[in-house]
Chain A
Amino acid sequence: MAQSPIYRGRRDLWLPALVVALGAAVSLGVWGILIAERRQATLARTAEVAAETRQLLADGVEAYVGGLHELAGLWVLVGHRPLEHWEADVAMLKHNLPGLDSVAWIDADSDEYRVSRGANPSELALPDPEDLGSASEPALVGPERTSTGGPFLRVLLPVGPGGAQGLLVARIDLETMLGRLLRGKSLGYALSIRWGNDEIFSRGEPSTDPWQGWWRVEGNLALPHGIVWHLVDRPTAELAASVLTPIPHYLLASGLMLSLLLAGLSHQLRLTLRQSRFLAASNRALEERGDELERRVAERTRELEEAVGELGAFNQMVSHDLRSPLAAVLNFTTILEEDHRDRPLDAKGLELVQRIRRSAERATGLLEGLLHLSRAGRAALDIAPIDMRRLAQEIFAQVRVAEPEAGEVEFVVEDLPQAAGDHALLGDVFSNLFTNALKYSRGCEKRRIRVRGFVEGERCVFEVADNGRGFDMRFDAKLFAMFERLDPEDEVEGTGSGLAIVARIVARHGGRVWAESRPGEGARFLFSLPRPRGDRP
């Protein structure tokens, strides 16, 4: 077998590639949506936290300034407070406002300076009392750093209209104040507050993951009294870890893996399908081959059966037909020997010799008939379109030479259709039929042999008719059998092989032979043959 039965897959990877592409697209899409949603939610939450922080800071600063206002108001209301009372007021205020570092009071009426305990007046940069009264609004100054600490917020708070009654100066440690204000707030976020170029507050470690760079809320916070702080809210690593779960990434990864798996499966499935199709085709081919083999076996069997049949005919011929003329030769030579031992060969003796010769001739005729039948069965068919009319005329010309009174026979050939067949063998068919027709019309009046033909579908039928003695249709089963005869041998000569040969040749052409007759009314022999291929309808 030239073709290998094992299927080898082609390098055709468009299907798995398509599956991978689709799977990746879907996975990426889902991943993108999840990430975007999460980002939006996280940003909203952060913005909320940031807004809360800002509000807290604004309120806090206001509260500190308010507290200082109260201290100043107390001075104005009560008038010159004794020092120990003032100290107690300041201590109370420091307790309430963590980060309040030091407080100073400059009284406008008395030019009195009062500085809280532990405070360094030079660090407070107290102005001259003459300079008072220019500002009436509180001023917040900073950030200030000194050798001892900072950053500080300095609050200048004029008291009375246009600061007419005095000035309160306070210094607040920003870290402490902001730490107090933001205690327990904005958890999970790293918060950085800048005032100008100085970072005045920083809490928490922001996540260093560059993927979380997008996640920050940053902006200026305008506080009362003209202060602008810059705030940056960033998530800490802990918060990022708890909020930014890697589920979308896992989904993406598993989606990609799944699509790869599907691609592999689809490729495999495709290969399997192809292989099964291939196998099915192979099976069909095998079945066809099997049918072909069966057909050929049947054909061979038929040929063998025919050969066996022929062998049977040969056996029959040797055991029956050839035996009798040979027995006759032996019998008559014996009789001749017995009867003419003592006397010369007279007319009776001569007749015996003639009979011996006839028997020997008959034996020869039988052998020749067998040889012809064998040839009709064995010869390779050389099928070609045959001009049947011309063939019939040629053959009759040959046959009539052997016929003693052929001159008186009228021979008519009508227009015959072309047949497909072997020229030599079809010649034998005509030869045997014409010989028969001549033989069985011997002695009849106005002997006539007529050949006709007509087309019948895919076949053509030919007829050889004579006006001889005919035969009884009851016996026509024997007509085409080998060495069977309808007449005793001395009435009509022959060995009974002619029609058997005709039947054999016609059968080998795929045709059929039959006869129609009545005693005394002539006989018609018909045979069918296939038409030439180009000639069929």
Chain B
Amino acid sequence: LKHRTTILLVEDDRDEVDVALRAIRQAGVDAPVEVARDGLRALELLGLEPTASAAIPLRPRVIFLDLKLPRVDGWEVLRRLREHPETAAVPVVVISSSDELEDVRRSYELGANSFLVKRFDQRGPGRYLAEAAHYWLELNHPPPRGDRVS
């Protein structure tokens, strides 16, 4: 099932997107990756924001979410995700260039499942992202679809 294995990457920087995609492929994770270049687009893909095209809402296995985004920022996306019963339990991995305690704390308070600091990985570009993708797709047991974790 497509929706069970999809990864949603919310990232505005094209370089970051390319590096992430390359790393995920190299790590042998073959799940399709949907990319949203800003927060609004991410909400549209998830069906949380009305859109011109009546596409089926995306239900990814994991969301990689940058915090600093054009239009709607990562925290707003996270808040909206957790508000909606359909998406309340979707694992969210925050990826941010910030490692400030306030940002980390706020992310977890809003319901993030993980917080990764963007970095140059000495072992290979984006390796840490690939490892996180592997963990959430292969090792982690996902929440039942459509159910809210209460």
Residues of A within 8 A of B (CB): 316, 319-321, 323-328, 330-332, 334-335, 338, 355, 359, 472, 475, 478, 484-490
Q: Give the docked Cα–Cα distance between A475 and B38 (Å).
A: 12
* Chain B: minimal CB distance from A500 (Å): 15
Instruction: Determine which residue in B15, B97, B118, B119 has the highest number of CB atoms from chain A within 10 A of its CB, and name it.
Output: B15
* Chain A: minimal CB distance from B65 (Å): 15
Contacting A at CB under 8 A, from B19-52, are 19, 22, 37-38
Contact B125 A324 (CB under 8 A): no
- One digit per residue, 1 when the CB lies within 8 angstroms of any chain A CB and 0 when it does not, for chain B 1-13 equals 0000000000011
Contact A475 B71 (CB under 8 A): yes
Please tell me which one of the listed residues B19, B70, B97, B98 contacts residue A485 in the complex, with CB atoms under 8 A apart: B70
Q: Which residues of A contact B19 (CB under 8 A)?
A: 328, 331-332, 335
Contacting A at CB under 8 A, from B80-107, are 96-100
Q: Which residues of A contact B141 (CB under 8 A)?
A: none
Known: A327-B119, A359-B15, A490-B14. A320 touches B71 (CB 8 A): no
Contact B15 A332 (CB under 8 A): yes
Known: A359-B15, A488-B37. A331 touches B120 (CB 8 A): yes
Q: Which residues of A contact B22 (CB under 8 A)?
A: 335
Please tell me which one of the listed residues A316, A335, A486 contacts residue B71 in the complex, with CB atoms under 8 A apart: A486
Instruction: Give 5 A-B pairs besides A320-B97, A335-B19, A355-B15 with Cβ atoms closer than 8 angstroms.
Output: A319-B99, A321-B97, A328-B13, A335-B125, A487-B70
Residues of B within 8 A of A (CB): 12-16, 19, 22, 37-38, 68, 70-72, 96-100, 118-120, 124-126
Q: Which residues of B contact A332 (CB under 8 A)?
A: 15, 19, 125
Q: Which residues of B contact A486 (CB under 8 A)?
A: 70-71
Contact B12 A327 (CB under 8 A): no
SS of A interface (majority): helix
Please tell me which one of the listed residues B37, B71, B119, B125 contacts residue A472 in the complex, with CB atoms under 8 A apart: B71
Residue of B nearest to A355 (CB): B15
* Chain B: minimal CB distance from A306 (Å): 20
* Chain A: minimal CB distance from B142 (Å): 29
Residue of B nearest to A358 (CB): B15
Q: Which residues of A contact B15 (CB under 8 A)?
A: 324-325, 328, 331-332, 355, 359
Contact A320 B120 (CB under 8 A): no
